Amino acid sequence: MRFGLVALLAAFVATPAAADTFSLQYDGAALGIIPIGSISVDATIDENSYDVQTHMASGGLLSLFEHMNLAASASGEIDGDRVIWRRYDLDHHYARKHRVIEMNVEANGEVVAQINPTYRVWGTPPASDEQRRTARDPLSTMVAMAIDVGEHQRCEGSYPTFDGRFFYRLELSGGRTGHFDSAGYDGDVLKCSMAYVAVAGFEGTDSWGHRRIPRGEIWFALAPNSRFAPPVRVTTPLSAGGAVVRLTHWRRLIVDIQDTAMAEPTPAPTPAATAARP
């Protein structure tokens, strides 16, 4: 998801007195044209912590075959450019099923997961305790990617991820700059290649278990005066063809938190909105 070369962060972002808040919406389409659903993301990033909430719902052709509704949240700490996740919650309705996952990291680094109902199978091999300890949850992985891109303006890194059953790596590579002018964001982006490497928790019948490494692309917005580079476009491989997730709404606020308990939100220098283009 993101990036082009961008100026150094403004001084006020480097202080603990401001929180960067993004409200983002996306639409997904299979084969680039068939609507399959929508995603909303609310992310608050400050110097030492982050909080992300997302909601996904199937739509268009996909909802005729499988209704899906997902709500997830994650929070944790930021130490320099290190993202340290602490809690992840998922409430997932799909295929007439309902599963709730709650994960948190204890003081000793152990990942504790409560899954209801629990999985019937855990894959071959299942994710080990060590793999869980070295991974982030899926939302925190995206935060880590966005901060790496925002801080360093490069497509580089391997991001171990654990979602309660599956352990996999998302890998960024390549990188070319471009311009994005749609849905309220008008600015530079960094276009990265992204690989999904299945490691543990998968079965031979899983979509990507023990097969070729699926590869897609993610564009990150190099927002002015921000260490956080949200994705504006993601292309992912599917068993029946590719899917494209594209930004449809962009809203950003910088909240001054100084020493006061209540602070007025200060609009960030966002560009004028334009109609979304496919």
- Residue 192 belongs to some domain of the structure: yes
Number of domains in the chain: 1
Instruction: Determine the structural domain holding residue 160 and report its residue range.
Output: 11-267
Cα–Cα distance, 161 to 134 (Å, whole number): 8
Residue 273 lies in a domain: no
**Does the predicted TM-score (pTM) go above 0.75?**
yes
- Which tens digit of pLDDT belongs to each residue from 88-104? 999 999 878 899 999 99
Q: Is residue 225 part of a domain?
A: yes
Digit-coded pLDDT (tens) for 46-61: 999 999 999 999 765 5
Residue numbers in the chain where pLDDT is lower than 50 = 1-16, 63-65, 240, 259-266, 270-278
With vertex at residue 122, the alpha carbon angle to CA 116 and CA 127, rounded to the nearest 5 degrees, is: 105
Interval 161-174: pLDDT, tens: 999 999 999 999 99
**Residue 179 placed within a domain:** yes
Whether 98 maps to a domain, the answer reads yes
Asked whether residue 275 is domain-assigned, the answer is no
Q: Is residue 4 part of a domain?
A: no
- The answer to the question of residue 155 being in a domain is yes
